[in-house]
Amino acid sequence: MMIENKSGDYNRLIKKTLEFIALYYEHGLQVPDNLIQNIGDFIIAKKLYRRFSSPHIHRLTNQRHNIFYHGRQKLNLNIEINNLKIKVETQKKHPPEKSSNKPWEYDLEKLNPISPTAFVGKDKVDIIIGVILYFNDDHSEIEKEVIYIFNKNDFKYFKNDFCPIEDYKTIAHILYVKGELPIEKKRKVDFYNKSIYKNLFLKSENNWEKIKSLL
Reported as a single tens digit per residue, the pLDDT across 96-118 is 999 988 899 999 999 999 999 99
pLDDT score of 60 more than 70: no
DSSP-based three-state secondary structure for 199? helix
Reduced to 3 states (helix: H, G, I; strand: E, B; else coil), residue 136 is coil
Q: Which of 65, 71, 67, 68 is CA-nearest to residue 42?
A: 71
Average pLDDT, whole number, for the chain?
90
Say how far apart CA 158 and CA 85 lie, in whole Å.
18
What is the mean predicted confidence (pLDDT) over 36-49? 93
Reference 139, options 27, 12, 13; nearest CA is 27
Question: Distance (Å, rounded) from C-alpha 153 to C-alpha 67?
Answer: 23
pLDDT of residue 22 exceeding 90: yes
- Give pTM, 2 decimals: 0.91
Residue 4, pLDDT > 80, answer no
Q: Within its chain, how far is the Cα of 133 from the centroid?
A: 8
Instruction: Single out the residue of 88, 175, 91 nearest to residue 135, CA to CA.
Output: 91
